[in-house]
Amino acid sequence: MQLTQSEATRRAAQAQQILDGKTKPLGALGQLETLGVQLCVIQNTLTPSIDPVRALIFGADHGVAAEGVSLFPAEVTAQMMANFASGGAAICVLTRSFGVQCEVLDVGVNADLSGLAGIVHAKVARGSGNLRRSPALTPEHLVQAMGVGAQAAVRAFKSGIKTLVLGEMGIGNTTSAAALICAYTGASPSEVVGAGTGVSGAALALKTTVVAEALTRTAKSGNAKPAAREILAELGGLEIAALAGAMIEAHTLGLIVLVDGFIVTAAALAACQIEPATRANLVFAHRSAERGHSIALGALNATPLLDLGLRLGEGSGAALAVPLVRAAAAIINDMASFADAGVSNVDAGVPHGQS
């Protein structure tokens, strides 16, 4: 499903032409039209199909949690994996509510979850290293974690899945995501580091210092800017690497990818720096309340669908956008054209959109 740029442009123009013939003023469905065109390009079709949809929720622990960067103790990662398995977490409620499958993967939780039924056991290591003081991931762990994500995408594809909702769980991972966003965009820690689970005051200042020191540490390793994969290994986490691996593979497979908030967008930055073509398949679901998110979205030239002040993670924002993606496809597939419906259209010379 690798279109050339000119093939993609042609497909997009065909899709927009179909939308322009529907019984509505030109451009009147706004971002739903932009999204519909993107869906046609991703699937190289003029009749996009969204379902079945599967959420992939990757869980892992972070060595940096030992620095006191989260309001919650690190044990909460494992506790939340059990909450996912028993269906009580927000992402479980949302996926059930919207008819979305939910697959939870242990890619690096610092606990023995082997007895926990209902999740995929794909543990690469019991958490990442403390990025303030050492690389978060070894080169081997990076490859393995990206592989866990890629394999989950392949498994979904083989099950007939058309759309992935990507989410995560990991106490400490807003610190890792903030460091990655700084490293990939050049923004400063004071612009990007935010409240995460709710830190403020001295704890927020500490979190900013931790990110700043991590960036200094990794910058020291050479004069040249490190490659995208090196940055991901130095500052990432096992679940973030898995998310990046899932996105890159999803592009190869022609899957639609719904990107959640701050952490998944940090993974998207990594994926798009490693493999720029990945960007075409990413649908950005929402603008998080976490302050650095807008910087990451801007770097990806992304206009998200929702802006509800969410800052939960788990893929919750991505799941909430699933009905909008279905609606965008339904408009293209099922809405009547002026010709079908015998409705008078305005002259063809009218400019597109409001003016």
Active centre residues (catalytic): 314
Smallest separation, CB 15 to a second copy (Å): 16
Cβ nearer to a second copy, comparing 276 with 353: 353
- Single-letter amino acid code for the residue at 123: K
Cβ nearer to a second copy, comparing 87 with 298: 87
Cβ nearer to a second copy, comparing 223 with 344: 344
Report CA dihedral (59, 164, 53, 310) to the nearest 10 degrees: 70
- Contact positions vs a second copy (CB under 8 A): 22-26, 28-32, 71-73, 75-76, 79-80, 82-83, 86, 88-90, 93-94, 96-98, 194-198, 200-201, 289, 305-312, 316, 320, 322-324, 326-327, 330-331, 334-336, 340-344, 346, 350-351, 353-355
Smallest separation, CB 313 to a second copy (Å): 8
Smallest separation, CB 266 to a second copy (Å): 18
CB within 8 A of 200, min separation 6: which ones?
none
Q: What are phi and psi of 110, to 5 degrees?
A: -85, 60
Smallest separation, CB 89 to a second copy (Å): 6
Cβ nearer to a second copy, comparing 163 with 218: 163
Exposed, middle or buried by CB within 10 Å (0-12, 13-18, 19+), for 1?
middle
Smallest separation, CB 10 to a second copy (Å): 25
Structure tokens at 177: 């995501």
* Strand boundaries in the chain, DSSP class E: 53-60, 101-108, 120-121, 163-169, 256-259, 282-284
Cross-strand pairs, 256: 163
Give the span between the Cα atoms of 143 and 188, in whole angstroms. 28
Give the span between the Cα atoms of 273 and 247, in whole angstroms. 12
Cβ nearer to a second copy, comparing 26 with 164: 26
